């Protein structure tokens, strides 16, 4: 379950006053008649996904875990952000399964230093690679994949290399599909009706997540439970839609920047995933809220001053995980030279939550910064699946309220055209 608290948001309109519009858009989402309906496959994916393919993911993930030290996930945007968000949120940054195998994300940058350092790092390690691209022509991913493909072929020979490369791509066509078919790589399908930023619940995200030792059955159960819970347009019962409406109300009040806030470092990549989901879905035709993020209390020491006293264009969406994955009790010290004994016997999670409460009060009472509070039970696989589906429904409703297509990204093509011209690609 997710709870949404809007008491800290200073809304000057009643969320319930939008019920009529939400009713209409909910029907369009569920009946798949909304703008961008060709990409609404995620809505009921929990009921329609290929169960045989799902079982194969678990089997192949077990094989990977037994046969490599480093698993390269080669993809960009939705082809890696969701998986990385899940792995770090659920396992933690130094969890017990973090290095079984070690998962390195590549193909998401042109950085020569990063790419060369990864190549050097894996030189004496057992390596497998999962290349992820719908078309197979994404430049960052294709460039990296050629380098790592040749590395694996040189290290193991072509026959063994074929067993160490997995391609997640279109099911029938495309550059990567053709290459994978010719070479005999294991293939997984990116559904035609689910866009990249919604693809974490498909083989795009599920295979790397399973390789990390995470229970993908529980993750998909979280998606299923969210689907069932949000199968209503009633704003008093659907927190995803209530969140979407609250965003629109706050923007009407001049709040054009939304900061996604958590208090756990292991959710930093969750914020990066959220930024793509909302930024790429909503930023069209001069519309939308700019998505930013902060991991508090860390970022309070860099961004806190602006949020508190700066231009009043910001509202915060605070995601609170009620139960930490792990906790530590702060010890007493006989000498107390650091004057910290006032915290002796307290858990670090309690300290973290008191920092959150103090910051919330400062931003709300003195800073006049609206806060939307989303409460999540824990950082389990089930909660991750539930939470991402919550945001899927919220972003669809929020963007449709702007009368825009939430599922395309025409602006992304502009930089690509210029880049290709400068690179000399015909």
Reported as a single tens digit per residue, the pLDDT across 223-254 is: 999 999 999 999 999 999 999 999 999 999 99
Q: Which tens digit of pLDDT belongs to each residue from 127-173?
A: 999 999 998 889 999 999 999 999 999 999 999 999 999 999 999 99
What is residue 81's predicted lDDT score, i.e. its pLDDT? 97
278-314 burial string, b = 16+ CB within 10 Å, else e?
Answer: bbbbbbbeeebbebbbbbbeeebeebbeebbeeeeeb
What is residue 419's predicted lDDT score, i.e. its pLDDT? 80
- Kind of pairing, strands 102-106 and 127-132? unpaired
Question: Is it the case that residue 204 has pLDDT exceeding 70?
Answer: yes
User: Among residues of the chain, what percentage have pLDDT more than 70?
Assistant: 99
User: What is the pTM assigned to this prediction?
Assistant: 0.96
Residue keyed to tokens 């009713």: 23
* Cα(204)–Cα(198) distance, integer angstroms: 10
Question: Is it the case that residue 126 has pLDDT exceeding 70?
Answer: yes
Mean pLDDT of the 90-98 span = 81
Mean pLDDT of the 183-198 span = 96
382-408 burial string, b = 16+ CB within 10 Å, else e?
Answer: bbbbbbbbbbbbbbbbbbbbbebbbbb
Residue keyed to tokens 């078309």: 135
* Cα(204)–Cα(202) distance, integer angstroms: 5
* Conformation bin of residue 377: beta by default, left when phi > 0, alpha when psi is -120 to 50: alpha
Q: Which tens digit of pLDDT belongs to each residue from 298-311?
A: 999 999 999 999 99
Would you name the residues annotated as active-site residues? 280, 416
What is residue 99's predicted lDDT score, i.e. its pLDDT? 60
Mean pLDDT of the 172-189 span = 96
Please report the domains of the chain, with CATH numbers, ordered by start residue: 3-31+222-402 (3.40.50.10490), 45-214 (3.40.50.10490)
- Structure confidence at residue 97 as a pLDDT band (50, 70, 90): low
Of 47-56, 389-398, 410-419, which range is least confident?
A: 410-419
Question: Is it the case that residue 267 has pLDDT exceeding 80?
Answer: yes
Mean pLDDT of the 188-211 span = 97
Q: What is the mean pLDDT of the chain?
A: 95
- Structure confidence at residue 420 as a pLDDT band (50, 70, 90): confident
Mean pLDDT of the 71-94 span = 96
What is residue 418's predicted lDDT score, i.e. its pLDDT? 82
Mean pLDDT of the 380-389 span = 98
What is residue 415's predicted lDDT score, i.e. its pLDDT? 80
Nearest to 258 by CA among 268, 239, 244, 269: 244
What is residue 98's predicted lDDT score, i.e. its pLDDT? 59
- Structure confidence at residue 414 as a pLDDT band (50, 70, 90): confident
What is residue 422's predicted lDDT score, i.e. its pLDDT? 78
What is residue 95's predicted lDDT score, i.e. its pLDDT? 74
- Structure confidence at residue 79 as a pLDDT band (50, 70, 90): very high
């Amino acid at each position: 379950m997710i709870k949404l608290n809007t008491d800290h948001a200073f809304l000057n309109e009643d969320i319930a006053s939008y019920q009529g519009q939400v009713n209409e858009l909910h029907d369009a989402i569920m009946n798949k008649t909304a703008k961008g309906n060709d990409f609404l496959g995620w809505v009921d994916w929990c009921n329609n996904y290929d169960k045989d393919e799902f079982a194969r993911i678990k089997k192949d993930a077990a094989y990977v875990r037994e046969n490599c030290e480093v698993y390269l996930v080669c993809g960009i945007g939705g082809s890696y952000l969701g998986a990385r968000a899940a792995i770090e949120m659920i396992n933690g940054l130094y969890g017990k399964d973090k290095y079984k195998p070690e998962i390195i994300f590549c193909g998401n940058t042109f950085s020569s230093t990063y790419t060369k350092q990864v190549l050097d790092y894996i030189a004496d390690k057992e390596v497998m690679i999962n290349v992820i691209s719908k078309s197979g022509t994404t430049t960052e991913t294709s460039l990296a994949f050629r380098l790592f493909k040749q590395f694996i072929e040189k290290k193991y020979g072509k026959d063994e290399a074929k067993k160490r490369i997995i391609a997640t791509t279109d099911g029938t066509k495309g550059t990567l599909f053709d290459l994978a078919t010719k070479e005999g790589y294991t293939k997984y399908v990116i559904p035609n009706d689910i866009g990249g930023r919604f693809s974490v619940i498909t083989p795009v995200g599920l295979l790397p997540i399973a390789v990390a030792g995470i229970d993908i059955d529980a993750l998909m159960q979280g998606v299923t439970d969210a689907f069932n819970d949000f199968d209503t347009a009633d704003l008093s019962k659907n927190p995803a839609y209530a969140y979407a409406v609250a965003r629109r109300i706050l923007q009407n009040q001049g709040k054009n920047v939304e900061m996604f806030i958590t208090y756990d470092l292991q959710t930093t990549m969750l914020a990066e995933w959220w930024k793509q989901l909302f930024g790429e879905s909503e930023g069209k035709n001069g519309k939308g809220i700019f998505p930013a993020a902060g991991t508090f209390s860390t970022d309070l020491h860099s961004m806190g001053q602006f949020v508190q006293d700066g231009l009043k264009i910001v509202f915060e969406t605070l995601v609170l995980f009620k139960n930490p994955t792990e906790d530590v009790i702060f010890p007493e010290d006989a000498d107390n030279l650091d004057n910290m004994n006032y915290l002796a016997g307290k858990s670090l999670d309690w300290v973290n939550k008191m920092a959150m409460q103090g910051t919330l009060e400062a931003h709300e009472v003195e800073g006049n910064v609206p806060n939307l509070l989303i409460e999540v039970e824990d950082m389990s696989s089930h909660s991750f699946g539930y939470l991402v589906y919550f945001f899927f429904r919220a972003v669809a409703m929020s963007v449709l309220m702007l009368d825009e297509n939430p599922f395309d990204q025409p602006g992304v093509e502009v930089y690509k055209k210029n880049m290709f011209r400068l690179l000399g690609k015909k």
